[in-house]
Structure formats: C-alpha cells, structure tokens
Structure 1
Amino acid sequence: MYATNYARATSLADAAARIGAASDGKFLAGGQTLLATMKQRLAAPTDLVDVTRIPDLSGIKVTGDAVVIGAATRHYDVATSADVKAALPALASLAAGIGDPAVRHMGTIGGSVANNDPAADYPAAVLALGATIHTSKRKIAAADYFQGMFTTALEPDEIITAISFPIPAKAAYAKFPNPASRYALTGVFVAKMKDGSARVAVTGAGEGGVFRASALEQALSSNWSAAALAGASIPADGLLSDIHGTAEYRANLIVVMARRAVAAAG
C-alpha cells in the first residue's frame, strides 16, 4: 500500500473542501473496496477523507412509501433493522448475505453504491427498485446513476448522503456467491411494484456492471411466477467471462437466480 494522508471530515462542507484541496483524494466509508484496491496497488490516492462520522449520514427511516437509509449505515444495521425487515425484507436479506460478519460490521451502503463494484449486491436493489440516490448536491435516479463498471454519475466532490428505496408489493434477491469472497458471481433482484410492473436487475454478470434484464421483466409483468421464466434465456453477449465462470455460465445463472428470487418473493 502506498503512503497516503488521512483526515476525518466533520461535515459535508469539510469533506468537500478536503477533497478539493487534495491532488488525488478519495472519500473513505467502510473501505471494503477502496482499501483492498490500495493493498493491491491498484489505487494510490494522496488523501483519504473519512466521512463515516459526519452527523446525519447514518440511520434508517420508513415513510409511507419508501425506506430511506443514510449512506454511512452499516450492512449489519440494514440486515438487522426491524423497520427494514417489515417494510422491505428483501433488502434486509440482501444485506445479511454480504461478505462475512467483519465486512457487514464495517461496510456501508453508501460506500458500496459509490464504488459501483460490478459484483456488489446493493446496486441490484437500487436499480431494480428504481431508488433515488441523495447526494450533497442533488438527487439522482438509479437509471441515471450507474454508468459502467466502477463508474457513476457522482462528481469528484459529491458525497452520497442517503438512498431512498420505494417499497414494492413483492421483492427478493438471490445470488450465487463466490465461495471465497461472497461477492456475487451472479445476483438477481426481482421486484413486483405496486403498479403491477416487474423489474429485474442483475449484478456480478455484466461487463458494464449492474443492468436490467428486460426479457425477464416482460415475462414476469404478464405472469409473476417462477414458471413464467421456465423457457427464458439471456444472451451471453456482454457478460463477464473469467476464471470463476464463462459468459454462458453466467447467462444461465441469471435465469436460475431470477427463478429462485421470484419463488422467494411469493
């Protein structure tokens, strides 16, 4: 790991100012992606600005039609929240399956979404539910936020403050995890929205990161059941192929995980 300067921000303005003054600064939340890449010498920021102690960046609240989670909220807190389990159990279940206990007690939802790791779990929920990313500057719709592998619509000095998830009629997440890292080799989040429409987002499989599976959405919109996906297929074009699985393997996993998720959603 390269030498770097560390500072703990006391406010959003302080964090933005520190990043602006750094030649190559990065915001630090749980550090589950950033610190790993630094250890591998794939990233060498001159400055790390810790945003986890900024007031009001942590916490969970449920309104009439949405679950709002502060960006610095830990995975463990999402997984064990009685409010999330009652209003959006699929999200609590997703959080409970991230990494191991050490990761869940350190990693944050904002850090996961900000990094947009192609195998992260939260981006699938954000995109499938059509969530809104609240930042220090604006609100960004999920459809506009994810712009490719490790790429988002965030500006260099922009900080995620919270994520607002619409509460669906039904939802579930199923993933095939890498046995070592617990990252999603392929993960699928399915949601039946209150207007009857079906939304399906896939993580861990796309060359460009998380994406919507329109063919599966069409099948489920007319018949919300695992049986509706029995003859479905996903083309391998544009899917990842590596030592863990070929593009064809992941294409099959997408359908399998989607069927499991729909069955779990009920």
Structure 2
Amino acid sequence: MIPAAFDYTRPETVDEAVRALADAGDEGKVLAGGQSLLPMLRLRLAFPELMVDVGRIAELRGVREDQDALVIGAMTTHHDVIADPLVRRHAGLLAAATETVADPAIRHRGTLGGSLAHADPAGDLPAVVLALDGELVAEGPQGRRTIPAREFFTDYLQTVLRPDELLVEIRVPKTDGWGFHYEKFQLVAQAWAVVGVAALVRGDDGRIAEARIGLTHMGATPLRAAATETALAGADGPDAIARAAESAAEGTHPTSDLSASPGYREHLARVLTRRAVLAAAGMA
C-alpha cells in the first residue's frame, strides 16, 4: 500500500529536530532507520502529518565511555553496535542479542534508539536494555531528561517519550565480569521472537551472587523475571537454576496469536530462562 501524504523535514542538529517536533505537536513522527516505521506507514497504521528524518544528525551516532557506563547514540545502527569494541568488551549481552535481530540488511539500517522508541514487546532489544538496567536520555524543548529503562515502556508500542521529545542516547552500565546469554525461540529464521530471554549472571565462589533476567514478548511491554532473579541468588548448580526458572512466567501477561498461546509462551519462558541462565553461568 501507499502511505498517506505527509510533510517531510531533515534537520541537521538535535535542536532543529526538537523544534520541528514541537511545532508538529501530536502529528509529528521521528524517522530513524525506518525498519519499523515504514511498514506501519505502508499499512496505514500510522498517519503523521510531519516526518522528522534524523538520519543526518551526526551527534546521534557512536559509542563512548562515561566512567562505569557506555553511552550509545540513538542513531547507532545495529551493525555498528555489534562491531563496536567498547560494546563487545563492556556490554556483551547487548552485542550478542543485537546479532540475532532480523537479517544483515535490517541490521545495517535499523538503529538501537529506533528499536527502543518503537517499543515492540516482541523486539529483542527492549528486554535487553531492561536487563542491563539501562537509561534512556530524551531531549525536548525543556532540555534533557534521563529515564530508567524500567520506567520507559508503558504499554504496547508506547513509551513515556513526549511528542516533542527525541531519544538521543542510551546509557548502559558496564557489565565486566558478568556472564551473559540471549536465548530466543522463533518459528522461522529472521522472524520475531515467540519468546526471548536476556540473562546476566554475576558469580561468586561457584554460586550466583546476582542475576538479571529480561523477557521478550511476555506482555505488553518488556519485563523482568523478578521472581526468578530472587530465587537465583545463591544458586550453586543446574538443579537450583532449574528450580528458579520455574517462576520465570510469574507476573507476566503473554498474548495469544498465530505463533503461540499464553500457556505455551509461559512454558517457553521457563525453558528458555533455564537455558539462558545455565549458559550465562557457564554451566550449559
């Protein structure tokens, strides 16, 4: 299908982009890599009056260190996230999960910020940034604000971003010394995850001292498996990990669709959590 008509602007700076969004009010839409937005436009699921293309804003790209965190520009492509040595060294979970996103063509065009702002609970990266205890930095007419990932996603395809705000950076704590693994089940290659699990594990003398578990496609937003995280504290082997994984679906609200029923997604959450934690803990 052909998208509905819209006006188009391509700002050169963040300030210009914010002004354009402020002028458009509720009728503006940000175009990043376009891998999620353009299909929605073609299907006429989105009807913006103004498209603000941020592809030329150089300050929105790249990765840098800021003490104990990495700061990743919102327009950094999936390919560049995977290839960046800082990400691979200090945020291996993010690199590993990003390698599973769609296919090479989409990874060269799609962006980290675009994926997070789109807020699809079936997308891989929202749950990963949630597990990393990441923060998202938005800029609007009143300046910048930093939003914890746990507060960023509010409902299906919805976030706390205001219509006149632009996501500019993603901050993730360095996880040097943590084990990590991203496990997902999909019906065919390059399809959305039926369920995905992002696992981070910090060990201490053969036991799990701390674990963080992010769940993909287990509700209207990405979720943390809080009950399993608690149960994993002190776990010292595969049996203890398996018992902790049995609570992975607690507090989730998976949907039913052509790929899976809610009950099947709950089963997958338990199985994939066990696999992901065993791999992250080096016990696979």
**TM-score using structure 1 length:** 0.92
Residue of structure 2 equivalent to 1:190: 199
**1:49-68 Cα deviation digits (max 9, x unpaired):** 01122131100123442222
What is the CA distance between 1:27 and its match in structure 2? 0.5
What's 2:28 paired with? Answer: 25
**Aligned twin of 2:215:** 202
Q: Which protein is bigger by CA-based radius of gyration? A: 2
| Contact 1:114–1:160 (8 Å) recurs in 2 | yes
Matched, 1:239 2:254: yes
Structure 1 residues 9 and 227, CA, compared in 2 at 3 Å: closer, same or farther?
A: farther
Q: Is the contact between residue 174 and residue 188 of structure 1 (CA under 8 Å) also seen in structure 2? A: yes
1:170 to partner: Cα distance: 2.4
Match of 1:35 among 25, 33, 38: 38
Partner in structure 2 of residue 90 of structure 1: 93
Q: In 2 relative to 1, CA 112–224 (structure 1 residues): closer, same or farther, beyond 3 Å?
A: farther
- Say whether the 8 Å CA contact 2:119–2:221 is kept in structure 1: yes
How far does residue 224 in structure 1 lie from its aligned partner after superposition? 6.2
Q: 1:99 aligns with which of 99, 102, 113?
A: 102
Structure 1 vs Structure 2 CA RMSD: 2.0
Matching residue within 151, 154, 158 for 1:144: 151
AA at the equivalent of 1:203: T
Q: Does 1:249 align with 2:256?
A: no
Q: Note the C-alpha offset of 1:253.
A: 0.9
Contact persistence 1:177–1:186 (CA under 8 A)? yes
Q: Which residue of 1 aligns with 2:7?
A: 5
Instruction: Report the counterpart of residue 123 of structure 1 in structure 2.
Output: 126
2:71 matched residue in structure 1: 68
User: Are the counterparts in 1 of residues 94 and 129 from structure 2 also a CA contact under 8 Å?
Assistant: no
| Alignment size in residue pairs | 265
Q: Which runs of 5+ in 1 are unaligned?
A: none
For residues 33 and 224 of structure 1, the distance between their equivalents in structure 2, rounded to whole angstroms, comes to 42
Deviation (angstroms), 1:193: 5.2
Q: Deviations over 1:194-253 (max 9, x none)?
A: 9943221111121x2211111211122221655334231425962111110011111011
Q: Which runs of 4+ in 1 moved over 4 A?
A: none
**2:197 touches 2:214 (CA, 8 Å); kept in 1?**
yes
Residue 90 of structure 1 aligns with an amino acid whose one-letter code is L
Distance 1:69 1:133 in 2: 10
Report the CA distance between 1:150 and its aligned residue.
0.9
Shift of 1:148: 1.5
* d(CA) in 2 for partners of 1:215, 1:153: 26
Percent identity for Structure 1 against Structure 2:
39
Amino acid at match of 2:106: V
Q: Which of 159, 166, 179 pairs up with 1:170?
A: 179
Partner Cα distance (1:229, 1:240) in 2: 26
Instruction: Please list every run of 5 or more consecutive structure 2 residues that lacks an aligned counterpart in the other structure.
Output: none
